[in-house]
Amino acid sequence: MCGIAAVHDRRPTPERLEEGRAIGRRMLDALHHRGPDGRDDRQVGPTWLGHTRLSIVDLAGGRQPLTCEAVSGSRWVAANGEIYNHADLRARFAAEDGVAEDALFATHSDSEIVLHVLDRLGTDGLHRLKGMWAAAVADEDGGLVLGRDPLGVKPLYWAEHDDRLLVASEIQAFPAEARPRVEEFPPGHHWSSSDGLVPFADLRHDPLGDGAGIGPVFTTREEAHEAIRESVVESVRARMMADVPVGVFLSGGLDSSIVAAVMVRLAEPGQVIRSFAAGTPGSPDLVAAREVAAYLGTEHHERVYDDADVLEALPEVVRTIESYEPTLVRSAVPNHLLSALAAQHVKVVLTGEGADELFAGYHHLRDLEPEALADALVEGIEVLHHLNLQRADRTSMAHGLEARVPFLSRELLETAQRVPLAWKSLGQDHQARAQEKAILREAFEGWLPEHVLWRRKEQFGDGSGTGAVMARQAAAFVPEEEWGDVRFEGLPPARSREELGYQRVFAEHLGGTRAEQVLGRFATV
């Protein structure tokens, strides 16, 4: 997990390249929090690449930007995220060449596999990378390739400015004068200086990207239970890949509790699984998380906070998540405080993000007809990259912590799409209990206490008690006399005094009216 930046000059001269390096290094300064363990940059032809590193895999040899002479010493990569199947691809490529892996690969870093995939398969091969990633690959001849994982778990933004293409992991890294042109790089796409922007993933019809489409619909609930359980276990197993300790965010709700239960079962002998929870005193999340941690035997840690802690954190949270949407801010506050706690003990955490989108866990989905529900679920997955995933990435990376999301593997997405929609709806006669995500709950019977397994869903901001704090303190965000009279140019009218307060922080953070006119689209649902 890291921060990346790139400056690609379309009119490279020695003077412009020197200026571009200075721009890039200032951009990298703004991404230090994403990679506090190291920093490096390199000029590769007309492209400057920069990288701040959070050391997770190959602690000694994974410094970036990196290259590999066995592939092409003129091509360099700067990548953010984790590629979980890099070991499988390494073994396959070495076997194809009839050589030992060490003869083919320069490092043990998962990011190096990007160079080998491009060398062997071209940009069409990027669909084979399984994980959460965003990457920039430059070569001395002037070529540049950008790519982002299909679900957009890892962020990437770009902008054209002064005949340069600027690229970075976060909006705040861009120079103020370039921010009016900043756009989000679309998930599941690659771009090259030769071919332009090209999609390589189709989550609706071919989530695995292997051309086989979606498998047959499950015909029995038992068949679905087994497939769901196997997919979840394998997704968690892949995301426990690390050369550093791995923990879990545990709210006591269904999704994070399942992840924690699987991690405990997969742990090596003597391996400690550390769990982390946050909330106001006596909040439902804290109480439930304690019970689950005790049941599973995790080493449990808590961050208990009050109204004053929430109000103090709010401005930093808005700046961190680069959004002013109230529900996102509310859920980000406990994430922010939780990440600060977890970063004192681990460098990687697994979370329960994504299960609601796969298995219809939201209350507003309960009355939809099957066809409408199918569309709503896929649309929910497709927009996660600028909602919950943006919140999860920013709040964790602000503290040098990597958050991994096992429910959002493409394999699990394909499995979930094979579950009949009627089994995802609420209140079917054959369900043991009329409850959202019943099929997921049934798949993990016996893994958790029964009442935890069937605990009703609460939004993170509500279960942690943060929503109640916001309700009590809304008047503190904006004075009464300003409500209705203040509006920030380029942003939609605030729906509440609370949202107007967040808009003010957001606008000030991103630096003026020109930025607001463009960046408002990144901050709204």
Tokens at residue 334, please? Answer: 């406990």
Q: In the structure, how many helices (H) and strands (E) does the chain have? A: 20, 17
Which is it for strands 299-304 and 274-279: parallel, antiparallel or unpaired?
A: parallel
Q: Residues 28, 48: contact at Cβ < 8 Å?
A: no
Strands (E), 219-266: 246-249
| Rounded-to-integer distance, Cα 367 and Cα 354, Å | 20
Close Cβ partners of 83 (under 8 Å, ≥ 6 residues apart): 110, 111, 113, 114, 129, 130, 131, 133
Angle separating helix axes 307-321 and 466-473, nearest 10 degrees: 100
Q: How far apart are CA 479 and CA 498, in angstroms?
A: 10
Cα separation of 53 and 39, whole Å?
6
The H or E element that residue 72 is part of is strand 72-83
* Tokens representing residue 71 in the block: 């592939």
* Token pair listed for 364: 């507003």
Cα separation, 223 vs 381, whole angstroms: 24
Residue 2 falls in the annotated catalytic set: yes
SS3 at position 344 = coil
189 and 149 Cβ atoms separated by less than 8 Å? no
DSSP string, 162-220: TTEEEEESSGGGS-GGGGGG-EEPPTTEEEETTTEEEE--BTTTBTTSSS--S-PPPSS
Bridge partners, residue 443, by sequence? none
Q: How far does CA 263 lie from the centroid of its chain?
A: 19
Dihedral sign for Cα atoms in the order 29, 34, 36, 40: negative
Count of Cβ atoms closer than 10 Å to residue 199 Cβ: 12
Q: Are 391 and 323 in contact (CB under 8 A)?
A: yes
139 appears as a binding residue in the annotation: no
Q: Pick from 349, 361, 362: which is nearest to 395 by CA?
A: 349
Considering the candidates 1, 2, 250, 313, report the single residue annotated as catalytic. Answer: 2
The answer, yes or no, to whether the previous bond of 65 is cis (omega within 30 of 0) is yes
Binding site: which residues? 110
Binding site for L-glutamine: which residues? 110
Task: State the catalytic residues.
Answer: 2
